Homo-oligomer: A and B are copies of this chain.
Amino acid sequence: MVKTRSQKIGLQAGELVFVGNKQRTKAPLITLIDYNEGSFEERDISNLNECPLYKDKQTVTWINVEGNAPEILGKIGECFSIHPLVLEDILNTDQRPKMQEFDEYVFVVLKMFSLHPKTKEIITEQVSIILGKTFIISIQEGLEGDIFNPIRERIRLAKGRVRKLGCDYLMYSMIDQIVDHYFLLFEHLGERIEDLEDAVLLSPTPKTLANIHNLKKEMLLLRKSIWPLREEISNLIRSDSDLVTDNTKLYLRDVYEHTIQVIDTVETYRDMLSGMLDIYLSSISNRLNEVMKVLTVITTIFMPLTVITGMYGMNFKHMPELELWWWYPMVIGGMVAISVGMLTYFKIKKWL
């Protein structure tokens, strides 16, 4: 949860160091799309030398970086005059979702969640977006491929509104894409919760307990990333910056409501998981009760029988009944009667 942040202690603010899971870093991939309603251009720009050409061009210039590479970010930062603290935040994948307004651009950090196709673990990825007047820069960790592909496709085919509108609408499309993926995740989690619910009511095992605990922990971590998102988008909507137009704000309001719905879902799931723990505890107590009842029934039936057999095993000289031939079957009969009587009694008391 708190990652390898410690390596940054003692460093000055604004120094570009990657904080996060190193193993996940790969060779960075940079793509540029430049478009307006009429024109469209797409290219790979690995050396970033052409960056300044696009900076002041009045078309929408979208630079997408996959993978975290400090040097590349440094170059981009220089070209588009991005504040060093922003670049530092992009490299720190341990960032909280946030939105920061600057004079020339708006900086947005988001968390992208996806499910590992096999282990079904939740993979968290950081997506940073810098929205300028005529450019938009998006930086992904790039673990699960490029999630913005559907948007790119729409731009290429000039489908829908995206080519007609500016950078801010493109940013909205990205955020919307990410938030939509949350619903996918929660559909999966919802199914897991329903499975757990059945398990906890029908056949609770210590494994069930561990599962509930793990889901609760995942909820805790999801919550930590989703709550600030709400504030973030709300800030975007209320922003005075002329980088975000009123038309786009209407769309952002839509995303905002989705976010609230996601938050509602997280909270509901948490409540449900808490309730399940109570159910689990009750179920175990119930079972203990059942076990104890069996024990008590067994003890209650056989204890008197033991005493009876013991009694006629005593070696007294003067036990006249021992001589009677019908006493033995009678004793056996009595023992059966006691057993049957006890069983009936417990049946009536609903212990069996």
Contact = CB atoms under 8 A, between A and B. Distances in A.
A279 B306 CA distance: 40
Looking at A176, A190, A303, the one whose CB has the most chain B CB atoms below 10 A away is A303
Contact of A2 (B161, B190, B272): B190
A348 interface: no
Interface residues of A, number: 108
Question: Which secondary structure dominates chain A's binding surface?
Answer: helix
A177 B187 CA distance: 33
B220 A210 contact: no
A201 interface: yes
Contact of A306 (B8, B83, B307, B327): B307
A250 B83 contact: yes
A298 B298 contact: no
Interface in A278-295: 278-289, 291-295
Nearest to A203: B350
B254 A85 contact: yes
A53 interface: no
A317 B322 contact: yes
Interface string A253-284: 11001001100110010011001011111111
Contacts of A217: 272, 275
A143 interface: no
A239 interface: no
A209 interface: yes
Given A6-B184, A13-B176, A298-B299, A284 B287 contact: no
Interface stretch (A43-51, A65-73, A134-142, A308-316): A308-316
B315 A180 contact: no
Contacts of A187: 2, 5-6
A2 B265 contact: yes
Contacts of A9: 177, 180-181, 183-184
Contacts of A302: 303-304, 306-307
Contacts of A289: 284, 287-288, 291
A262 to B, nearest CB: 9
A206 interface: yes
Given A160-B12, A316-B328, A5 B299 contact: no
A289 to B, nearest CB: 5
Interface of A: 1-2, 5-6, 8-10, 12-14, 83, 85, 89, 94, 96, 98, 100, 150, 154, 159-162, 172-173, 176-177, 180-181, 183-184, 186-187, 190, 197, 201, 206, 209-210, 213, 216-217, 220-221, 224, 250-251, 253-254, 257, 260-261, 264-265, 268, 271-272, 275, 277-289, 291-296, 298-300, 302-319, 322-325, 327-328, 331-332, 335, 351
